[in-house]
Amino acid sequence: MAKKTQTAPLLQGFTRLITDATIGITDLVEAMHRRIVHPPFLPSTPVQELITAIAGITYTNVKWSTRIIGGGLDKALGKLTPVLGSLKSTDEGEALRSVLNGLVGDYLEKKANPLQITMQFRHKSKPILLESESLKETYPAINGKILVMVHGSCMNDTQWTRKEHNHGERLAAELEKTPIYLRYNSGRHVSANGKDFSELLENLIGQWPVPVEEIVILAHSMGGLVSRSAIFYGQKQKKTWTKKLKKVVFLGTPHHGAPLERMGNYVDAILEAIPYAKPFARLGKVRSSGITDLRHGNLLDEDWQNRDRFEIKTDQRVHVPLPKRIVFYNIAAVLGKKTDTISSRIIGDSMVDLKSALGQHDNPDKQLQFKKQNTWVANNLNHMDLLSAPEVYQKIKAWLV
pLDDT in tens, 182-192: 999 999 999 99
Q: Distance between CA atoms of 10 and 87, rounded to whole angstroms?
A: 12
Q: What is the pLDDT of residue 287?
A: 77
Query: Using 50, 70 and 90 to split pLDDT, how confident is the model at 97?
Result: confident
Q: Are 368 and 359 in contact (CB under 8 A)?
A: yes
Q: What is the pLDDT of residue 45?
A: 59
Q: Are 125 and 47 in contact (CB under 8 A)?
A: no
- Angle, CA 276 vertex, CA 47 and CA 65 arms, to 5°: 65
Query: Using 50, 70 and 90 to split pLDDT, how confident is the model at 308?
Result: confident
Looking at residue 302, its amino acid is E
Average pLDDT estimate for 66-88: 46
Q: Is the pLDDT of residue 112 over 70?
A: yes
Single out the residue of 332, 355, 352, 331 nearest to residue 342, CA to CA: 355
Q: DSSP states of 338-392 as a string?
A: TT-HHHHHHHTTSSS-HHHHTT--SSGGG-----GGGEEEESS--TGGGGT-HHH
Whole-prediction pTM: 0.79
Q: What is the pLDDT of residue 86?
A: 41
- Contacts of residue 394, defined as CB under 8 A and 6 or more positions apart, other chains included, come to none
Query: Using 50, 70 and 90 to split pLDDT, how confident is the model at 259?
Result: confident
Average pLDDT estimate for 2-30: 51
**pLDDT: is 36 or 180 the higher one?**
180
Q: Are 254 and 352 in contact (CB under 8 A)?
A: yes
Q: Is the pLDDT of residue 128 over 50?
A: yes
Query: Using 50, 70 and 90 to split pLDDT, how confident is the model at 279?
Result: very low
Average pLDDT estimate for 368-376: 96
pLDDT in tens, 321-342: 999 999 999 999 999 776 455 6
Q: In a 3-state reduction of DSSP, which class is residue 14?
A: helix
Query: Using 50, 70 and 90 to split pLDDT, how confident is the model at 62?
Result: very low
> Residue 146 pairs with which residues in a beta bridge?
178, 215
Q: What is the pLDDT of residue 198?
A: 98
Q: What is the pLDDT of residue 193?
A: 98
Average pLDDT estimate for 83-90: 47
Q: Is the pLDDT of residue 243 over 80?
A: yes
Query: Using 50, 70 and 90 to split pLDDT, how confident is the model at 137?
Result: very high
Average pLDDT estimate for 295-319: 89
Q: Is the pLDDT of residue 158 over 60?
A: yes
Q: Is the pLDDT of residue 51 over 70?
A: no
Range in 162-171, 255-264, 310-319 with the lowest mean pLDDT = 255-264
- pLDDT > 90 in the chain, percent: 56
Burial label, 266 (beta-carbon count in 10 A; 0-12, 13-18, 19+): exposed
Query: Using 50, 70 and 90 to split pLDDT, how confident is the model at 273?
Result: low
